[in-house]
Structure 1
């Protein structure tokens, strides 16, 4: 497996969460798995086609920050190479894209419109599955809606409900309904191709890591300013609910790994 680190050297819980899921998956299944990490925005390292599975993390900043930089072009080229490989070969390579990587992929595949939010989103929020999402394997075992970590200043929308430019893409999840807000619901998950899927939210987030984030003064201020102190207290309390964040963390990425490795074994 190739794990692409999009955090640009910033402190984060995401890479720890991804690696913990991989180690737990290996222990639970008894399969021998190995992975290499590529710190693409710091060192410029980008994996080639020599891996079976790819997971690309979230990260800070604008999804347009890499414009004109080699690392972004290499990442876009990798997505293109993986798509072509899967079109031409029986042995498929599966890809999971998280948050920043998801927004980049939406640009690369011409899916929706990537724009800045009016205000940052940070916290634990419900996410609603579309009809396609209900049937998608990566959400097996989750209720509709389910709860997850949402942390972003940018979003992907589909203006005027027009069809996506990519005929292969399907929307799997949307942000919660907000009847009192006259804004389009942003896209929270997309299957770009049969083997390439991504989420705006953080499926790797766990209660321990999220608690560390919520207790930071700047994060607390953002949540209280945007959602109120009662919502902040509710987020802290929800960390102890096994049917919320812990459930999502235990399902989404392991479901993706099951899908990828089952397809690999069948081929």
Structure 2
């Protein structure tokens, strides 16, 4: 009898369009840690979706779709986006079939916004000013029940980096499609602007966040300490906000906790069935 562990294959969909970022390293590190912790025969492959129109097949056990720069609207009709949505449609069809090996997908930030556009569940537009920082996110009642958000604080802290956003959830559409709004951005009682949706469960196998659960303190700190990024943040948000970001990075209950919780919880849900 073979004692070989089952192979687990994860596809990482890179939507950064060749732009330097901390996100891809964050995903790799989470997967490497998860593999070591659970002693798994796990491998992953990266697909350059936007720059090279590379898209995986449906033969992976789970998929992580990254954030990325630019407008989530202007790419409509492009070759890469058509291929991307064809993959999503195939995964959806697979999950609705009698097949037992369901395909779980985690969508981050830019991918979240593309999926919101695909399903028509909210308004997508530019923010009045970019959001960037280690900011609180509030769980809804449904978010508190979702397995992917178990063991988080409420609010929990995460890296938020958005020029674009999805607001004004179409609750009738949510109900029609059986989707759940899991989290909202921080409450701002002094600002008369709608709060962005920050996490949605599209179905039993597709979950998405408009924030960056893969971000880690070291990567963000390294980025913030670069002179050009420091100047950019201070010019945009002020020195007090910059110092607050650095303080929050050193707090183990903030983004370090978020990074070690959300995507690992997703992986538990996505690949436990593969291991059985």
TM bucket, shorter chain: over 0.9
Please state whether the residue corresponding to 1:77 is helix, strand or coil.
helix
Structure 2 equivalent of residue 209 of structure 1: 219
1:229-264 superposed Cα distances (whole Å, 9 cap, x missing partner): 222101101111100010000000000000111233
Structure 1's 162 and 94: CA in aligned 2 closer, same or farther, altered over 3 A?
A: closer
C-alpha separation in 2, matches of 1:132 and 1:49: 29
1:48-71 superposed Cα distances (whole Å, 9 cap, x missing partner): 111110001111111123222110
Alignment of 1:111-130 (within 5 A): 111-130=121-140
Alignment of 1:70-81 (within 5 A): 70-81=79-90
C-alpha separation in 1, matches of 2:192 and 2:223: 30
Structure 1 length as normaliser, TM-score?
0.95
Deviation at 1:163, TM superposition (A): 2.5
C-alpha separation in 2, matches of 1:42 and 1:261: 29
Contact 1:122–1:222 (CA under 8 A) maintained in structure 2: no
1:59 maps to 2:71: no
Mark the runs of 5 or more structure 1 residues left unpaired by the alignment.
none
Residue from 16, 30, 35 that aligns with 1:26: 35
Structure 2 equivalent of residue 110 of structure 1: 120
C-alpha separation in 2, matches of 1:65 and 1:23: 34
Deviation at 1:158, TM superposition (A): 1.8
1:79-125 superposed Cα distances (whole Å, 9 cap, x missing partner): 11111110112220000001111111111122212111111011110
Structure 2 length as normaliser, TM-score?
0.92
Contact 1:158–1:164 (CA under 8 A) maintained in structure 2: no
Mark the runs of 5 or more structure 2 residues left unpaired by the alignment.
1-9
